[in-house]
Amino acid sequence: MDKFVIEGGHPLKGVIPVSGAKNAALPVLAATLLTADEVTLDRIPKVRDIRTMAKLLESVGAEVKPNNGGYAVRVTEVTSAEAPYELVKTMRASSLVLGPLVARCGEARVSMPGGCAIGARPINLHLTGLEKLGAKISQEHGYVRAHAPNGLTGAVIHFDRVTVTGTEDLLMAAVLAKGETVIENAAREPEVSDLADLLTKMGARIEGAGTSTIQVEGVAELHGATHAIIPDRIEAGTFLIAGALMGDPLTVDGVNTEHIAALIDKMRQAGVEFSFPSEDRIEVRASGKLRAVDLATKEYPGFATDMQAQFLAMMTQAEGESEIIETIFENRFMHVSELLRMGADIAIEGNRATVRGKTELSGARVMASDLRASASLVIAALAARGETVIDRVYHIDRGYERIEEKLSGVGAQIHRAE
């Protein structure tokens, strides 16, 4: 397994680019299953989860061609409605093909998904929604089977709790269902709106994406389209936090500031100062005088759970005591034990972490447990004294494109080793 070797204490100076959003690209790729025409997708990040999704599409009959930093995908015919365990065992987003496959073929068999060990993320909300649309659901041998030989029919679907992938999955199923579908308590994340933008370009009739109520008028078929993925707000936020600790200054390029408004607000409360050289650029400089602030993760437009680990790493370098409450995933403090090895002062009680700063971090050998935990360890290593070795960086490869090359380009002493 690969590892990162990082020599801390080096300032970050220059411009660091943001890639397309992995969490937007995955549902958009799944949406190509809804038409026999070619769909051209730009700004697709070159990360492990995307390669897995491309292989999954090919396994069901898609032709996936690299195309100027993206993909051209054509699914002339779905030759298999099964997403096998071998392909989906490392990726939660595999469940996103369930809705499109049953909508187009009347049949889908998808292995129960894998991915990061950050807590239970059941797909029962997807399945209940598909049943409302008329699919018959069964589970056996680790697979979920959805069966709707006569097609899907529009319905009112109310999610008991907000689910991003559930909203995306049901949205894709509904665009080919007969009649109107209303999705209540829908996720409002930018990635949902991005998917709706593509589906609309393909001929879908959707209103309300980006709000808690989405209305879909089903159509008989969709056609091809060209679409560019939105910037990755989590990657942008990760680089901003790195810049708040080590920027001299650091400019994050290709960012949508609206998508990270909650993060910018919390960072400003902590004493971080920003400048905005252009509409899609943010400049940040390390002041060395951070203040402790409290936060609780929330669904969008609240503070993203995917930024919690990185913000917690920053709080180890802030003066005072901060309290961080994780409300989305029950198992998302797995990075804390590794930060303790580096000298952080953090106490965990249930879904609450108390961080006492400022502590001097020192390099150590640590292990990544999930995607965003990996990013928090990279941030801590950049600020630490001495050398840090991060094992199992395949987690970070799932969601960050060439992060070591991007950071090296602005002065970080980081390299990948086998």
pLDDT digits (tens, 9 = 90+) for 39-90: 999 999 999 889 999 999 999 999 999 988 899 999 999 999 998 888 877 6
Same domain, 155 and 298: no
**DSSP secondary structure letters along 280-336:** TEEEE---S-EE---EEB-STTSB-GGGHHHHHHHHTTEEEEEEEE--S-TTTTTTH
Type of residue numbered 411: G
> Is the backbone peptide bond immediately before 301 cis, with ω within 30 degrees of 0?
yes
Same domain, 286 and 148: no
Domain that holds residue 202: 22-228
CATH number of the domain residue 143 falls in: 3.65.10.10
Span 358-378, average pLDDT: 92
pLDDT (0 to 100) of residue 121? 47
Percent of the chain scored above 90 by pLDDT? Answer: 83
Evaluate whether 263 touches 28 at the Cβ level (below 8 Å): no
Q: Provide the CB-side half-sphere exposure for 188 (13 A, CA).
A: 12
Question: Which of 198, 228, 258 is at the close of a domain?
Answer: 228
Q: Grade residue 332 by pLDDT with cuts at 50, 70 and 90.
A: confident
Q: Grade residue 143 by pLDDT with cuts at 50, 70 and 90.
A: confident
Question: Which of 194, 211, 228 is at the close of a domain?
Answer: 228
Span 284-291, average pLDDT: 94
pLDDT (0 to 100) of residue 122? 60
* CB burial readout 123-135, b (16+ within 10 A) else e: bebbbbbbebbbb
Catalytic residues: 116
Same domain, 218 and 272: no
Nearest-CA neighbor of 241 among 220, 270, 279? Answer: 270
- Over residues 6-42, the pLDDT tens digits come to 999 999 999 999 999 999 999 999 999 999 999 999 9
Same domain, 219 and 303: no
Q: How many residues does the chain have?
A: 418
pLDDT (0 to 100) of residue 118? 34
- Domain count across the chain: 2
Span 160-182, average pLDDT: 96
Same domain, 310 and 210: no
Question: Which of 179, 205, 228 is at the close of a domain?
Answer: 228
Nearest-CA neighbor of 226 among 399, 59, 342, 72? Answer: 72
pLDDT (0 to 100) of residue 120? 45
- Residue 116, SS3 per DSSP: coil
For 35, the token pair is: 């038409």
Span 261-278, average pLDDT: 97
Same domain, 207 and 313: no
Same domain, 377 and 254: yes
For 65, the token pair is: 């061609």
For 310, the token pair is: 């990185």
Instruction: Measure the CA–CA gap between 265 and 301, rounded to whole angstroms.
Output: 12
For 266, the token pair is: 């919390």
